[in-house]
Amino acid sequence: MDRLRAADRSEMRINALKRTITKYAKHVNFKASLNKTIDYINQRRQEVSNRTLADNIQMIKQFLNEYNVNWTEKINKPNVGRKRPKRIDKKDVNGLIDQLEDVDIDYKYFYRAKTAVVLSAVSGMRPWEIYRLQWNELNVDERIVELPAEKTKTKHERIVVFNEEAQNHLTKLMDLFEEQPFSTKTIYCLTKKMKNKPDVKLKHCRKYFSQQWDREGLPTSIKEMLLGHFGNVDLRNYDRQSAEDLKQIYDRAEFKLNHN
């Protein structure tokens, strides 16, 4: 649940997850197996819509994956229509920062949250990857992050590049938070004080990076490397670029939020 809060998920979503997992756990008598899980899914299939069923299955699979259950890939979700991704631009990201700035909280906690937003927007890093960063994984002078496999969603190590704007924020953040740059409550400690929650969340900053990269007309394969998408054979087995190669291409983009 802490991981969901760190990802800035709403309490409504977290409570829905609790209800789903509790109901599932009771059905399988707190002893999960593939057959029991499929039996539960088939029962739910008679009770709810395909969209709700798909959502339930996603929650169950994520829960089981946290415990390294090795048969979750055999659980298939029903086909449901997917909405187009939310379009995110610089104005949206800066609007999120503005809302965070309005929160009545010690300045250093706002600055940490702002730095997380900037870093995600200009690098494409996932919220959970940012929250678990250590200073020794950040080469601020060279503007790169070397993410180990165990800290990525796909379990592939990768190099992340960021711009001078993020570099300046991180340099200042070192003086404010010497032990660790971010925490799981980097954003949550501000949003929990808000009456009206932001429509744009930290996870949307990664979408901004992806969309802005395409608006700049830059190579999709390089974007996939930076985002950590290694789904095709070429990226998994053949294509490899150095940090300098990635920076040279990255620097052709315009990832500047220019927030005051």
Q: Domain of 126: which CATH number?
A: 1.10.443.10
Residue 255 domain-assigned (yes or no): no
How confident is the model over 3-33, as pLDDT tens digits?
655 555 666 678 888 999 999 999 999 999 9
Same domain, 141 and 225: yes
Residue 81 domain-assigned (yes or no): no
Output the six-digit token pair for 188.
Answer: 């949550």
Task: Count CA within 13 A, CB hemisphere, residue 135.
Answer: 12
User: E-strand spans in the chain?
Assistant: 138-139, 144-147, 158-161
| 131: containing domain | 90-250
Using the 3D structure, point to which of 14, 49, 74 is the last residue of a domain: 74
- Quote the CA–CA distance of 15 and 85 in Å, as a whole number: 24
Same domain, 152 and 182: yes
Structural domain count of the chain? 2
- Quote the CA–CA distance of 115 and 163 in Å, as a whole number: 12
Count CB atoms within 10 A of the CB of residue 222.
Answer: 20
Residue 85 domain-assigned (yes or no): no
Mean of pLDDT over the chain:
89
Phi–psi pair at 161, nearest 5 degrees: -115, 145
Same domain, 56 and 143: no
Residue 79 domain-assigned (yes or no): no
Range from 110-119, 206-215, 223-232 carrying the lowest mean pLDDT: 223-232
Give the residue-averaged pLDDT of 48-62.
88
**Model pLDDT, residue 46:** 82
- Quote the CA–CA distance of 250 and 214 in Å, as a whole number: 12
Residue 158 domain-assigned (yes or no): yes
Please state, in angstroms and as integers, the Cα–Cα distance from residue 106 to each residue in 109, 189, 213, following that order: 6, 11, 34
Same domain, 54 and 138: no
Between 178 and 47, the higher pLDDT residue:
178
Same domain, 141 and 223: yes
DSSP structure string for 30-95? T---HHHHHHHHHHHHTTS-HHHHHHHHHHHHHHHHHTT-TTGGGPPPPP---PPPPP--HHHHHH
Residue 37 domain-assigned (yes or no): yes
What's the pTM?
0.72
How far is Cα of residue 224 from the mean position of the Cα atoms in its chain?
15
Same domain, 212 and 239: yes
Instruction: Tell me if 186 sits within 8 A of 101, measured CB to CB.
Output: no
Confidence of residue 45 (pLDDT cuts 50, 70, 90): confident
- Quote the CA–CA distance of 171 and 156 in Å, as a whole number: 27
Residue 140 domain-assigned (yes or no): yes
Give the residue-averaged pLDDT of 86-114.
96
Percent of the chain with pLDDT over 70: 92
